[in-house]
Structure 1
């Protein structure tokens, strides 16, 4: 009898054992690059004259790159459902889940919220009293507004709170599992409609309902990942799935960047004259959300291609960037604030060269900062969260071992 039980446990452990997904680290690397591009071009898009020959380029990079947060949400949902869906859901499992999120997400979030609050207080503001400072900081901390990019953590926390309920619903309801993609889209757009016409919440971009389509697509991929991988080996299946995704992305990236270009150059008049009011009301939201959803799927696919096609050193480099992406996300605006204080607004050549230099430096320095903390500070997780040693392999050691 004991032998039977032992074999049963072993079989359950094998069933629950999941393969390490290098593709996800590669996808995170691609996504963090888009975040860095958007933030690096944010000053250029507001200072370069709209009639400049370079303005369309800045506009394209700044707008087409606005897919980082939705992609990270999709990848987070994928990882959670891929790892937790096959396992027995109980209090012990959920307790470990929340302890990890508090330690590795909330603690670094609180730390960096304090850092950004103090830095901006020193550089830009003169608050009247310590009571005012405390109240303002706690308010910003509670809604992810100590610095603009921290809203991502605020959204993530909302999804973490919802995760046990959503996991249970996906396990119980076959209809929800199979139709997760369009259900997520429906929930998101019902929220958009209700908020626009009834609620009027100004920080809707910090509300998780604004990202349900990305979360549910990630959940769907996580639950059916093994089946999808098998089917993708079939040329006909791959063709039928990838062609619509790439066509959708191509069309939407043109629509979204084009719409924002017209908005920034005061050229929306012709659109307002020709389209119905209901279309105009939701056009900006539709082009962003749909573009970002297609882009996330494209990144997810290209990560799988890269996992097979990248040479070993290139793959290791991108995997390290992916493994450090949360830390890079947290710290890069701090470095950007520093570089922006030396921005030369004189010669166009110098100015645009500085934009490129800034992107390179915030990417490199953010990555090196996370690596430095990981190697030399024992409780590194307080600053940048957890880094898995199996996924965060030192590139220098890898190269040395290969010699």
Structure 2
């Protein structure tokens, strides 16, 4: 049965901000644990732990892509498409996404140029910067913004296609999965693009799933009011995520310890060839959906002050994403070795401090500079969160009175 399309008036969704908060924490865990994965000896008892957190956390970028697609289709699908709407769409993305991307690309390029590289001339450095900017490679994490820009360019065409063809709406999830794997195989056989992680086609399944959820969100939520349906979904997502998490972290452990080549000899060539891609994509897919589901549970069950904290992190997540590698560079410069106790304690300390400092700088710029969006994009006013917290506390008091 085809679910009726939601045409109701749209409202702000706290669940999205909560999911963004969870996703940015995952990103911070991955980036904070990356040095441990590369420096700790493979025979160390701590290496499997670092490997687990580093791999289990690799759900942030796909989840952000899914959430971005969800928000776009949730807001734009019921609306009439005209030139004015498209123009406003691109102006907002240019202002709040592309400009911060260019500025932070320049910031990271200049810092790395002075710290790590010695370019022969300014003209060569400029050419190099433009090349890296065009590929989302000025720093390792900026590929996410580069991918988002690609999706924004495609969005009006996809929106028109979803409006025009009912089968595209009905089978969006399946079509996205197939399209993504067609791209993976074609690139492997014909195109041989080494930086395929910076190409939007590598994330089509997340984009199409987000589109499906955005178009049918109200109807899906109504289905979740049925206990049996709700239980079936959470069991499916939890079991699927648990199985693929074990497979993905196990695969990466074998690959990083140079053992997988021996295991691959006992596997079918196609399985051995695409197992890494399959485990990454499937893990991120289950993780993103489960995380979004948990965000809905958290929205109703966590204490108001905890929700306030998560909402604030979600609201500033784009800025945190952009700036946190600067603080990671600083902390790794301060301590890049030492005894096991010092080194591993410093990794945890760095994660906590980088998270707080990133948030603090983003909000400080927001408060002090009217044109904060040049660096960190659009953000909500922080006082709105305090207002929501106060209302939540009053609601809790009324429940227990």
TM-score band by shorter chain is over 0.9
Equivalence for 2:281: 289
Any conservation in 1 of the 2:304–2:393 contact (CA below 8 Å)?
A: no
1:60-101 deviation digits (Å, cap 9, x = unpaired) = 000011111000000000000000001111110110000000
Matched, 1:22 2:22: no
Any conservation in 1 of the 2:241–2:286 contact (CA below 8 Å)?
A: yes
Query: 3-state SS of the aligned residue for 2:265?
Result: helix
Specify whether residues 218 and 396 from structure 1 end up closer, same or farther in structure 2 by C-alpha distance, changes over 3 A only: closer
Q: Following TM superposition, by how much is the alpha carbon of 1:233 offset from its aligned partner in structure 2, in angstroms?
A: 0.8
Equivalence for 1:239: 231
Query: 3-state SS of the aligned residue for 2:41?
Result: coil
Equivalence for 1:228: 220
Q: Give the one of 120, 123, 141 matched to 2:133.
A: 141
Structure 2: distance between partners of 1:162 and 1:236: 37
Q: Following TM superposition, by how much is the alpha carbon of 1:265 offset from its aligned partner in structure 2, in angstroms?
A: 1.3
Which portions of structure 1, spanning 4 or more consecutive aligned residues, are displaced by more than 6 angstroms?
Answer: 399-403
Q: Following TM superposition, by how much is the alpha carbon of 1:193 offset from its aligned partner in structure 2, in angstroms?
A: 0.3
Equivalence for 1:206: 198
Matched, 1:162 2:129: no
Equivalence for 1:85: 77
Query: 3-state SS of the aligned residue for 1:393?
Result: helix
Cα-Cα RMSD: 1.8
In structure 1, the gaps of 5 or more residues are 1-13
Any conservation in 2 of the 1:40–1:358 contact (CA below 8 Å)?
A: yes
- After TM superposition, the structure 1 = structure 2 runs for residues 295-310 of structure 1, keeping only pairs within 5 Å, are 295-310=287-302
How many residues of Structure 1 are paired with residues of Structure 2 in the alignment? 389
Query: 3-state SS of the aligned residue for 1:274?
Result: coil
Q: Following TM superposition, by how much is the alpha carbon of 1:302 offset from its aligned partner in structure 2, in angstroms?
A: 0.3
Q: Following TM superposition, by how much is the alpha carbon of 1:244 offset from its aligned partner in structure 2, in angstroms?
A: 1.6
Structure 2: distance between partners of 1:262 and 1:396: 50
Q: Give the one of 321, 337, 360 matched to 2:352.
A: 360
Structure 2: distance between partners of 1:53 and 1:81: 46
Any conservation in 2 of the 1:170–1:177 contact (CA below 8 Å)?
A: yes
Q: Following TM superposition, by how much is the alpha carbon of 1:224 offset from its aligned partner in structure 2, in angstroms?
A: 0.6
Equivalence for 2:251: 259
Q: Following TM superposition, by how much is the alpha carbon of 1:240 offset from its aligned partner in structure 2, in angstroms?
A: 2.3
Specify whether residues 307 and 92 from structure 1 end up closer, same or farther in structure 2 by C-alpha distance, changes over 3 A only: same
- After TM superposition, the structure 1 = structure 2 runs for residues 3-402 of structure 1, keeping only pairs within 5 Å, are 17-389=9-381, 393=384, 395=386
Query: 3-state SS of the aligned residue for 2:174?
Result: helix
Length-normalised TM-score, structure 2: 0.94
Structure 1: distance between partners of 2:256 and 2:90: 43
In structure 2, the gaps of 5 or more residues are 1-5, 395-401
1:11-68 deviation digits (Å, cap 9, x = unpaired) = xxx9552121000000000000000000000000011111111111100000011111
